[in-house]
Chains A and B, each alone.
Chain A
Amino acid sequence: MIERTVAVLAGGLSHEREVSLRSGRRLAAALRAAGSDVREWDVDAALVERLRSDPPDAVAIALHGGEGENGSVQAVLELLGVPFVGTPAHACRRAWDKPTAKAEFARAGLDTPEWVALPHTTFRALGAQTVLDAMVDRLGLPLMLKPDQGGSALGAQVVSERAELPAAMVSCLAYGDTVLAEQFIAGTEVAVSVVEDQDGPRALPPVEVDAEGGIYDYTARYTPGAAVFHTPARLDATTLARLEDTALAAHRLLGLRDVSRMDAVVDGDGRVQILEVNVSPGLTETSLLPLAVSAAGMKLGELYTALVERAVARD
């Protein structure tokens, strides 16, 4: 096989920089072990010059949050004509903005928790308490609050009491200008990764997340041992198949490419409620995609080497 030069992009200036650096290190090591010549680059003012002066065969994106997931970096790579692993810029933008993605899911008949997304300015203009009351009337309690964009559960919180809501809103709005409020769905939390090969997209075994205390927040995500994972998820075969079908449907619906991860909750009725999809799934030691890859009998380095070949062939 030809030895490819691959630039792994990691870091950036998002709130998830630390997670991204960890994903990047892991991906770089996996690609090297599989025989690639790897450079590890941050996304900064030197990036474009680097891509021009030392052009890699392809770029693999291990950026989380911000420009690495909202399509900005992808758009620049498209402008420069650099092949890259992952979803094209226009589709990233759809997946990245949670309310937009949820609207697409709902329109396509996929289940997603009922929601409302509102910017701070609307609360200020219309009166926060009135709008919050309407929100609770419609969605009930507990509510899940999260920034409309972003990952790693940063800024996400479950609100059980109406009285806690104003403070939770202020905390959430520290991450961005718009809050996504969702009906809280109790159930089994599952992540389903999708990878593409010559036969098209296929779903990897669903990973069930059993977080300490039931809350899969930042601490639970990145503290080894704070969450227990079951691969495949401890669900019946029909539900597992439904999870895989839903992940594939979401992947196709939003025009995702190469690799994605759907986060969902299987509710009490066995329905798959999509929370979000990720175009740049985490690759850290505690992340879900690597678990699914390994459960499918694959190696992360081999998977990404194959995706690099796909990216190069697309060029």
Chain B
Amino acid sequence: MPQPATPPEPFRTTAPAAAAAAGAPAAARPTERFAARTAGMTASEIRALFAVASRPEVVSLAGGMPNLAALPLDALAVEVADLVARDGQVALQYGSAQGVPALREQICEVMALEGIRADPDDVVVTVGSQMALDLVTRIFCDPGDVVLAEGPSYVGALGSFAAYQARVVHVAMDEHGLVPDLLRDALRTLAAEGTTPKFLYTIPNFHNPAGVTLAVERRAEILDICAAYGVGVVEDNPYGLLGFSGRTYPALRSMDRDVVYLGSFSKTFASGLRVGWALVPPAVRDRLVLAAESATLCPPAFTQMLVMRYLAGHDWRSQIKTFTEAYRDRRDAMLRALETHLPEGCTWNVPDGGFYVWVTVPEGVDTKAMLPRAVTARVAYASGTGFYADGFGSRQLRLSYCYPTPERITEGVRRLARVLEAELDVMRTFGSPSRQSLRGGPQAPSPHTP
């Protein structure tokens, strides 16, 4: 519960004036009091370059903002007004740390679409699934603990792992997702040095940033391997319902009740509401709820109740279909443009859902060092190194097709192609040198980059 800002006098042990009089050292600069684990949270040249992405002159293929244009805003406005009028006393009040019980029941119905049978008691509602990720890392990872993640992996997850000083070991993917043999190799190597990772963090469906989906026949094998090595599994599934064929894949959690599953309404409804969740084994639940309580006391009742009304009163499945049809058109536009414009030596995958295409550029090109050239040419992308914890990915870049219109996507790819040609031209002049990278801070755009 909130405390008064100033403790009542009898509880104060040392008055500030008394401390100063006793010869306490003068306050150091606040920046000298930063925790060592935040040393990587610095200004970043890369982040600064994304500032122009908000200007309409720039085609941003960098951000991962969902396209909300198709949402029925008039109907939602009525819901919001009615929510405040009828249920304002509850919606505007503190709520349960675990989330509104009725929403947790609805969340179980959503998860059932991917084969998950869950008890609402095991669902913890969070402020976006990003918070769930932060809390899960908080309760499982001590500094130096190892987390396995696909290479590349979601930049926001890498940020959480770094914040808790976990060491990330990447496991490569192919066009069918995480490669079981490579997972086994990584675990064997770690076991040889006496290390058991805390968990495997995986995005099985329409991966961010790689765009690939874990083959169904690999899913049980991945779970078996992790079980054999005593490694937990954290399944992050924000895109699972955004398949272009309408197909869904069985969640890892549907095959193994010990999997920690993270879900979100950010892509299926509205990212600005910040409503996500974790489905956890009962043994984990209480600790996660306590961690959540210390972070936020409770998730906002208002946004949870709006999601409840939306799920109960609107055809949200049709809405998802509308979203995915728009995303499919945009993906098609991007693939056509890549095929038409990108120079020889570039390769990319064909995503069946989600938001992203992962492009590999000709050898020697450093996509991070090339970004200023792209910004000058009024196009932005996310360079690959931001999606690795180990400096890998300089030859890759992520293109998002979720937000711009198909026409803008085509124009953006055309500009990117010219940027690549110019970069290759300069590289030929200097003999295709191996590259240095820019220094400092986050290396990928923030999620709210358009």
Contacts and interface: CB of A to CB of B under 8 A. Distances in A.
Given A218-B43, A223-B441, A15 B431 contact: no
B52 A217 contact: no
B426 A219 contact: no
B218 to A, nearest CB: 39
B52 A164 contact: no
A290 to B, nearest CB: 16
Given A44-B55, A166-B431, A219-B43, A173 B48 contact: no
Contact of B372 (A15, A164, A226): A15
B426 A167 contact: no
Nearest to A155: B372
A166 B375 CA distance: 22
B436 A174 contact: no
Given A17-B52, A154-B45, A167 B433 contact: yes
Interface in A145-178: 152, 154-155, 157, 164, 166-171, 173-176
B31 A225 contact: yes
A221 interface: yes
A222 B42 CA distance: 8
B439 A219 contact: yes
Nearest to A176: B376
Nearest to B31: A225
B170 to A, nearest CB: 24
Interface stretch (A47-55, A122-130, A305-313): A122-130
B44 interface: yes
Given A166-B433, A167-B436, A225 B370 contact: no
B429 A217 contact: no
Contact of B423 (A166, A169, A174): A174
A176 B377 CA distance: 11
A17 B43 contact: no
A108 B428 CA distance: 39
Contact of A129 (B43, B52, B427, B431): B431
A224 interface: yes
Contacts of A19: 48
Contact of A170 (B30, B376, B430): B430
A154 B372 contact: yes
A166 B429 CA distance: 9
Contacts of B423: 170, 174
Interface in A194-222: 217-219, 221-222
A13 B54 CA distance: 10
Contacts of A219: 42-45, 439-441
Contacts of B32: 225
A223 B190 CA distance: 36
A170 B34 contact: no
A174 B430 CA distance: 13
A8 interface: no
B369 A170 contact: yes
B12 interface: no
Interface string A26-50: 0000000000000000101000000
A225 B36 CA distance: 13
A21 interface: yes
Interface string B54-66: 0101100000000
Contacts of A173: 426
Nearest to A228: B29
A16 interface: yes
Contact of B436 (A128, A171, A217, A221): A171
B51 interface: yes
A97 interface: no
A252 interface: no
Contacts of A166: 430-431, 433
Interface residues of B, number: 41
Contacts of B258: none
A170 to B, nearest CB: 5
A44 B57 CA distance: 9
Q: Using C-beta atoms within 8 Å of the partner chain, give the interface range for chain A.
A: 35 or more
B430 A169 contact: yes
Contact of B429 (A17, A128, A218, A221): A128
B45 A167 contact: no
A68 to B, nearest CB: 13
A166 B32 CA distance: 38
A189 to B, nearest CB: 17
B101 to A, nearest CB: 43
Contact of B369 (A18, A174, A218): A174
Contacts of A157: 436
B408 interface: no
Contact of B42 (A17, A18, A223): A223
A18 B430 contact: no
B366 interface: yes
Nearest to A175: B372
Nearest to B44: A219
Contacts of A152: 48
Contacts of A129: 431
A17 B373 CA distance: 15
Contact of A15 (B48, B369, B426): B48
Contact of B43 (A21, A176, A223): A223
Contacts of B366: 170-171
B29 A225 contact: yes
Contacts of B43: 218-219, 221-223, 226
B436 A168 contact: yes
Nearest to A44: B55
B49 interface: yes
A120 B51 contact: no
B435 interface: yes
Contacts of A120: 426, 429
B48 A217 contact: no
Interface of B: 29-32, 34, 42-45, 47-49, 51-52, 55, 57-58, 366, 369-373, 375-376, 378, 423, 425-427, 429-431, 433-436, 438-441
25 contacts: A13-B52, A13-B55, A13-B57, A13-B378, A15-B372, A15-B376, A17-B52, A19-B48, A124-B429, A157-B436, A166-B431, A166-B433, A167-B430, A167-B435, A170-B366, A170-B433, A174-B373, A175-B372, A175-B373, A217-B45, A217-B440, A219-B43, A219-B44, A219-B439, A219-B440
> Which 7 pairs across A and B sit closest by C-beta, in order of nearness?
A225-B31, A219-B440, A222-B43, A18-B51, A166-B433, A167-B433, A166-B430
Given A13-B57, A222-B48, A226-B42, 14 more contacts: A15-B375, A120-B426, A120-B429, A124-B425, A155-B372, A166-B433, A170-B435, A171-B369, A174-B371, A174-B373, A218-B48, A218-B438, A218-B440, A225-B34
